[in-house]
Amino acid sequence: MENEIQSTESEKEQINNNYFKKTFLKNFKLNIIIIIISVALFIIEFFYRSPLFKYSLDFEKNWQEKASKTTIKMFKFFTKIGGEYLMAVPVIIVLWFFTLIKSFVYLMGFIFCLQFHSMMKIWYGSKRPFWHDESLYKGICDGGFGNPSGHSISTSFLYLSLFIYYQQSKTLKDKFIIVIIILVFFLFWTIMIILSRLILGMHSVNQVIYGSSLGLIFFALIFIVFKIHQIPVADYKRFFLVKKYIYIILAIFCFFIILTFINIPIFNTEFDKDKYDALLDRVCEKKVAKYRRFNLDGLFGSITVLAMLGMYLGQILFWYLIENKYKYNEINSINNIKPIQDMNINEIKFSADNKNSISDINNNKTMALNDDSIDDLINHWNKNRIYICDNFMNVLKVILAIIVCAIPGILFIAIPSDSNVVVIFIFKIGIPMFTVPFLLYSVGFYYIIKVSCGSRELLMKRLEEH
């Protein structure tokens, strides 16, 4: 028995290794070039940082003198759209339309961009242009360090990733013109957000170039080199079920959490804090909270590692529930009688329409549910737009479930920004940052599975497809 378990575990590990190995080797030369370019971008940034920053001060001043008030207002709009809170819009789109694996990869990638660039801001400790020249201030105020640009890294990653999802979706298959229109729109949107940071004196040329480069690097590694978003369910779920992978991933999270909190003492930048505190108080129309200034702002962004940890632990609980609690669900039980493609359609319709037969199936504990039927269920849900939109009550149930998962986020709004720093980072930021993704990717998605994939309406749709 123990040998069988060990054999199963090794098979699971082998499947995971094979997926990434095959994906990487499939376009080996291209992937090597991407990795070399990525390393080179980190190195050459050191050489263009200082000259481009000095150039930016004159460039931005000259541009602002020529710009009209309407132009400045337009760029203010774009810079607000690219803010960390409004960035939730493309994330919500992916959560609703692309579900489980794609949303997990997308959101995990986005949060990692936030976390990594926030740590880098502490490492570099680079000032923003309007800190050097107050005349560059145009009504938008940020208290954190400037290098690399967070707007640039986030928009580069988010909108290119969103385009890839739409481009590969069944809805836009063979619709070349629509795909091009979407690509042009996303590129325009990204460029305008990045330009707005320059025009408003929030970032220098070197900072937006570096931020955009990092966003493109993360995008390339996730969606081109390793193609994590295309990982089969059978491979994906083993990162949350196989102990070896769980221990390795949790160790990585522990490393980043430790790095987050020792980052400031190790890389504490020497600068006249009182001088720039006074500058922010003097020029900023809207007061910048103390925890959003300088190194503390970097810590604020770095703590997003807790959101990634919450997502990962949430998926561990989700797959535990799927593997252990969902096995006798109507749709799984019916699928288990025999593979769906081998069944007579009338036989399945009878089973689906006959409540007694369903209850008998659920009570039949002798039927063993194999992994393929669960994978088929999740695969179907992951590759197709969820069918909850066909039933208004199901839509309300799912929306309610998402709202319930978001309840801990109230702490972020409820706790005043001028509270004690420790209180802010534990209760205003830390707890909501961890619990909301944890609840959403565990019980939240489990409930959505039960409402959408477990419904008889979906079962009949799947049968009609076959």
Q: Are 330 and 452 in contact (CB under 8 A)?
A: no
Using pLDDT thresholds of 50, 70 and 90, give the confidence band for residue 329.
very low
Mean pLDDT, rounded, for 453-457: 46
Phi, psi of 293 (to 5 degrees): -120, 135
Residue 171 corresponds to which tokens in the numbers above? 């809805």
- The predicted model gives 4-8 an average pLDDT of 42
Looking at residues 11-34, what average pLDDT do you find?
70
Coil, strand or helix at 269: coil
Could you tell me the sign of the dihedral formed by the alpha carbons of 137, 139, 144, 146, in that order?
A: negative
The stretch 112-140 carries a mean pLDDT of 90
Sequence-ordered list of residues with C-beta below 8 angstroms from that of 274, at least 6 positions apart, any chain: none
pLDDT at residue 197 is higher than 50: yes
CA distance 316 to 241: 7
> Counting Cβ atoms within 10 Å, is residue 27 exposed (0-12), middle (13-18) or buried (19+)?
middle
Whether the CB-CB separation of 166 and 186 falls below 8 Å is answered with no
Tokens representing 325? 């609690």
Domain ranges of the chain: 2-303, 316-466
| C-alpha Rg value of the chain to the nearest Å | 25
pLDDT tens for 351-400 read 333 333 333 333 333 333 344 455 555 555 555 444 444 567 777 777 78
- Structure token pair of residue 317: 């609980």
The set of residues, in sequence order, having a beta carbon less than 8 Å from that of 157 and lying 6+ positions away, is 109, 110, 113, 215, 216, 218, 219
Name the average pLDDT for the chain: 78
The pLDDT of residue 24: 73
Q: Is the pLDDT of residue 276 over 80?
A: yes
| Secondary structure element (H or E) that encloses residue 136, with its range | none
pLDDT for position 390: 54
pLDDT reported for residue 383: 52
Name the more confident of 89 and 165. Answer: 165
pLDDT of amino acid 332: 41
Phi-psi region of 455 (alpha: psi -120 to 50; beta: other; left: phi over 0): beta
Least confident segment among 2-11, 16-25, 31-40, 266-275: 2-11
**DSSP character for 230?**
G
| Dihedral sign, Cα of residue 294, residue 300, residue 305, residue 308 | negative
The reported pLDDT for the residue numbered 354 is 38
Largest CA distance in the chain: 78
Q: Are 309 and 434 in contact (CB under 8 A)?
A: yes
Q: Distance between CA 428 and CA 200 in Å, rounded?
A: 29
What pLDDT was estimated at residue 325? Answer: 64
Interval 49-58: pLDDT, tens = 999 999 999 9
User: pLDDT > 70: what percent of the chain?
Assistant: 76
Distance CA 373, CA 350 (A): 20
The pLDDT assigned to 255 comes to 94
Residue 89 pLDDT more than 80?
Answer: no
Q: What is the pLDDT of residue 430?
A: 95
